[in-house]
Structure 1
Amino acid sequence: MNSYRNTAQLYDLDEREIVKDDISFYMDFANKAGGEILEVACGTGRVTIPLARAGYDITGVDLSSDMLSRLRAKLEQEPIAVRKRVDLYQADMTEFQLDRLFPLLIIPFRSFQLLTEELQPEKCLNRISSHLTDEGIFIVTAFKPYAVLDESWVQPESEDWIKVVPISGTKVRRTNIKRRIDLKNQVTYPELLYYIEDSEGHEKVYIE
């Protein structure tokens, strides 16, 4: 299980377009659904907070206590009205039970594909079904390869982004290694490496 214990506080430093350009998509569907939203795998609130700022009530579920702690800290910087629109629960996406229904349920940013064990996707979809109104909308995003993944997927370390944190001057550089692939089950095993260099040049590395 990847709980982001070492890197939750670094997650929001990623400012690439890929982590921004889907927000308007979810805004459009929030407007169409016209009711409370359930976001599964809400993480640090990349989608949660913009929706709450726009006036939507949203419930977030995530497995990682560290990601939720980061989200709660960010909410503390928001106006009271925004904070009141957000409910958060720590739970596995294959087991959560909230005892209410939602007209819009979303699993953004490929999180559904973290379910790599045989029965996990079915269990998650059962949970989704039990929380969705009869006319509700369910949106799940997924990475679709152009072909069956083979050994060519395995690649050496490459750089994703670099960010210098204001005030502290800390430099964060994230890279990735496409470590190995299970060909039979089409499951990939990447690693994300965060190189943290302080203003005096001392460096630490965290791996997820």
Structure 2
Amino acid sequence: MREAKAFYSGPGLNVETYDERTALAGTAVEGDVEFYLAQAREAGGAILELGSGTGRVSLALARAGFEVVGLDRSEAMIARAEEKSASLPAPDRARVQFVRGDMSDFDLGRAFGLVLVPFRAFQALLSPEAQRRSLARVLQHLAPGGRLVLDLFDPRLEYCLPDEHRSRMERESVVHPANGHRVTVTVIQRTNDPLNQILSERWRFEEIDLDRRQVRVEEEKLVLRWTYRWEARYLLELSGFEVLAEYSDFRHSPPAYGLEQVWVARRT
């Protein structure tokens, strides 16, 4: 079997096509940038984005006039974000900075009015201890009354069943932004650990050129921890936050099973 590297651990098709694939994520991201912009206007002050990836959210906030720091542990993602940032007008470019770091252990030496953790990035923390450490760091970096917006997926029980090494053939296909090649993404294996609430998926990325020849094949392993809605609320409250709102999408819909968990909380 082909060796699979960790998700986003280096350059490759995963990072190169991230923006194109995220655009297909449906309600998981639909309207999220506008939602974060509204939260930024209410909170005021500088913004910290944890798990900033390719800068999809951070750059939009900078273009809207906000000062933003994006933190991510992947050098490849930061490089892509900085490449995109370089194309912004100088005033917008000056408002955004990307730094490498671990969202469970960082110290930027300053406070922010708003901290964002978009598109399920928090679920890359694989234990309650790591999650609590991260929220303690967030609290440390929030100004008094500052806000946290956290997006998780709400786990569907059938998705989390303990079926060892179940085979999946979930496919999506996008066009590579640099060369027009077709990139097909297949989830070829999923393993669940219900005891620890961990899911592991093996993703295969295949690049096909305009002559239908296979150019590259890469595999990466995605590991996430699912968090139940009640668990997320207790985690926030025990970490020093007051929950202001919870939604199932970015249109302010009420909580619903199996959709998103969008949490808005305030430092108490």
Give the TM-score normalised by the residue count of structure 1: 0.91
**Which residue of 148, 173, 194 corresponds with 1:138?**
148
**Which residue of 150, 170, 174 corresponds with 2:161?**
150
Other-structure match for 2:49: 39
Q: Deviations over 1:53-79 (max 9, x none)?
A: 111110010000000000000011111
- Distance, in Å, in 2 between the alignment partners of 1:46 and 1:169 is 21
Structure 2: which amino acid aligns with 1:95? D
- Distance, in Å, in 1 between the alignment partners of 2:48 and 2:180 is 37
Other-structure match for 2:17: 10
Report 1 or 2 for greater relative contact order, CA contacts < 8 Å, sequence distance ≥ 6. 2
Shift of the 77–173 alpha-carbon distance from structure 1 to 2, 3 Å rule, reads same
- Distance, in Å, in 1 between the alignment partners of 2:94 and 2:177 is 29
- Distance, in Å, in 2 between the alignment partners of 1:143 and 1:44 is 20
Deviation, structure 1 residue 82: 1.0
Deviation, structure 1 residue 168: 2.9
- Distance, in Å, in 1 between the alignment partners of 2:82 and 2:105 is 22
Structure 2 runs not aligned, ≥5 long: 1-5, 221-268
Give the TM-score normalised by the residue count of structure 2: 0.72
In the alignment, is the contact (CA less than 8 A) between 1:168 and 1:199 conserved in 2? no
State whether structure 2 residue 217 is matched by structure 1 residue 205: yes
- Distance, in Å, in 2 between the alignment partners of 1:171 and 1:47 is 25
In the alignment, is the contact (CA less than 8 A) between 2:118 and 2:151 conserved in 1? yes
Q: Deviations over 1:128-154 (max 9, x none)?
A: 111011100011111111448313694
Identity %: 32
State whether structure 2 residue 87 is matched by structure 1 residue 82: no
Aligned residues: 207
Other-structure match for 1:109: 119
Structure 1 runs not aligned, ≥5 long: none
State whether structure 2 residue 178 is matched by structure 1 residue 173: no
- Distance, in Å, in 1 between the alignment partners of 2:176 and 2:131 is 38
